[in-house]
Structure 1
């Protein structure tokens, strides 16, 4: 039996040669996100990103963790003048609209060498950091210990957390001293964020994810899995998506950036629409049905306790 830290096993399970994100059906075969799987949701998300790009004067959009290009395809329809590039671990999807460029990434926190010197660009990382593997730790009553896992998902406690990861825990994850308390150490996510930001010379960096702030860290952590449309125990064998919420407030304390909930941002961007006039139902039935569908999409993407609770980190770079 092979024991590994969750950080190592998680990375291999998602990005190894037979990893979850390299499989043919991709993430869309297992779960829905704002970008795909919710009728009209991708179009609404694309409109939000396009408005942010226009407001920032950006001529280009790069999507890091682009899946199979679902968000970029929607953006190409709502903002056809934007230059679009996707970044993910797979080769360029065959059905991606031709004008969209593509960079193949090593996976996880690692970025392709060609992603550098980016200018006048909005770089969006939508549900990327939550699948950047991190160390999982548990408090044994005296010290924080690294949680180790075998290929079937069975866990045990390993050695004490030390070095930069322990410093991160002590600074960013308040402990109430309860035996069995767990934490996902965000040091690797913070480093990934800084690395991505360093590739941008001029533009806007937007990171979107489920997350938490210092005063609401979960006592038992959030590590979980998704398989075939259902939440499940995380198993690092390549069959399961493995994810954990992001400590959004620690990504870069030195940077001037805004943290805003998705529901608040969408309202601020003017994406909310009232009910369509009832006379439209007889004058233009397809338009009436589309307006109703758009309202339904907005309701799903802004629902409290659900997608509306996504955090958006919006930070200008080089401006």
Structure 2
């Protein structure tokens, strides 16, 4: 999985349209998502006391779409203080706003907002499966044919994590590498907020058959790890939350976005009579908002955040 996604010819490194050409995230769905994160950044900035500079770090930045949209929306008083940083393994896209710093690793000293939107689901993991004797063994996949076989038994690190976070038989996606990745990312924030937005599950709702799948050109495909498609699996969000060793809050995207002013409400019909053009614009925005908060779609994503040296929790209530 690591080689297929991040190797020299991996899916996220290849010179193509980037993730947006293969699957749809909240970032790609509507600029309303960037606007909501901008309001969150404003609350973080207020909680920090409006420092001389405030970091805005996007982990798993794709081709810089989120930061580009947010920079275009920055209000006066914040625009000159924001330091946008994109963290991505792919080369810097041509024509990207020069204000955006582009790097492969997460900065070590962040004061502001760190965002990871659908990043943890692509942190490489192993999959284990219960064999006919009830033993958990690692699933091996032929990178050319996609044929699966069972290999060695789950190792000690896997079993330690499984006992606490995903007990029982079945097909299991071992989440401790993601726990470590998120702990490192959140640990880079000295003051501010670390936010993970991703699809996932909690201990009492783990899927018996797992969630590992692939995406290519907008279609779900067999997750063959040959670099030609995205290989992804849902995140054990409760495990990642605990691993950071920090106080945390965890809510659905639907609830979080409503707290940030996105409700999907249709505009009043009276507006159609008084200002038809404005009504159509408002109706389109309502449709985009509805997609972002759909409880059976993007609205079901988890928002996991840690507040480090600040308090915004009271401002995140709808």
Q: Which of 166, 171, 174 is equivalent to 2:167?
A: 174
Q: What secondary structure is seen at the aligned counterpart in 2 of 1:264?
A: helix
After superposition, give the CA deviation of every residue in 1:117-144 in whole Å (9 maximum; x if it has no partner).
112x100000000000111000114221
In the TM superposition, residue 279 of structure 1 has moved relative to its aligned partner by 4.3
Q: Which moved more, 1:139-148 or 1:225-234?
A: 139-148
1:148 aligns with 2:140: yes
In the TM superposition, residue 198 of structure 1 has moved relative to its aligned partner by 2.1
After superposition, give the CA deviation of every residue in 1:56-115 in whole Å (9 maximum; x if it has no partner).
226331100000011111111222523322111122212322322221x1xxxxx35xx1
In the TM superposition, residue 278 of structure 1 has moved relative to its aligned partner by 3.3
Partners of 2:265 and 2:129 in 1: how far apart?
48
Partners of 2:44 and 2:270 in 1: how far apart?
38
In the TM superposition, residue 164 of structure 1 has moved relative to its aligned partner by 1.5
RMSD: 1.6
Aligned pairs, number? 293
Partners of 2:22 and 2:253 in 1: how far apart?
23
Partners of 1:283 and 1:21 in 2: how far apart?
48
- For residue 58 of structure 2, what is the aligned residue in structure 1? 63
Partners of 2:199 and 2:155 in 1: how far apart?
27
Q: Which moved more, 1:238-247 or 1:266-275?
A: 266-275
Partners of 1:261 and 1:144 in 2: how far apart?
32
Partners of 2:293 and 2:265 in 1: how far apart?
14
Q: Unmatched 5+ residue regions in structure 1?
A: 1-9, 106-110
Partners of 1:52 and 1:134 in 2: how far apart?
31
- For residue 5 of structure 1, what is the aligned residue in structure 2? none
Normalised by the length of structure 2, the TM-score is 0.88
- For residue 95 of structure 1, what is the aligned residue in structure 2? 95
1:312 aligns with 2:303: yes
Q: Which of 294, 303, 307 is equivalent to 2:285?
A: 294
After superposition, give the CA deviation of every residue in 1:223-276 in whole Å (9 maximum; x if it has no partner).
000011100110111111000000000114232111100111111222225332
Structure 1 residues 2-81: aligned runs within 5 Å: 10-23=1-14, 24-36=16-28, 38=29, 41=30, 43-57=31-45, 59-80=54-75, 81=79
Partners of 1:76 and 1:289 in 2: how far apart?
26
Partners of 1:26 and 1:228 in 2: how far apart?
10
- For residue 237 of structure 1, what is the aligned residue in structure 2? 226
Q: What secondary structure is seen at the aligned counterpart in 2 of 1:95?
A: coil
Partners of 1:128 and 1:16 in 2: how far apart?
16
- For residue 153 of structure 2, what is the aligned residue in structure 1? 160
Q: Conserved in 1, the CA contact under 8 Å of 2:67 and 2:86?
A: yes
After superposition, give the CA deviation of every residue in 1:8-33 in whole Å (9 maximum; x if it has no partner).
xx110111111111122211111111
Partners of 2:256 and 2:110 in 1: how far apart?
25
Partners of 2:272 and 2:43 in 1: how far apart?
34
Partners of 1:252 and 1:261 in 2: how far apart?
14
Q: Which moved more, 1:268-277 or 1:230-239?
A: 268-277
Partners of 2:179 and 2:60 in 1: how far apart?
16
Q: Unmatched 5+ residue regions in structure 2?
A: 49-53, 311-318
1:271 aligns with 2:271: no
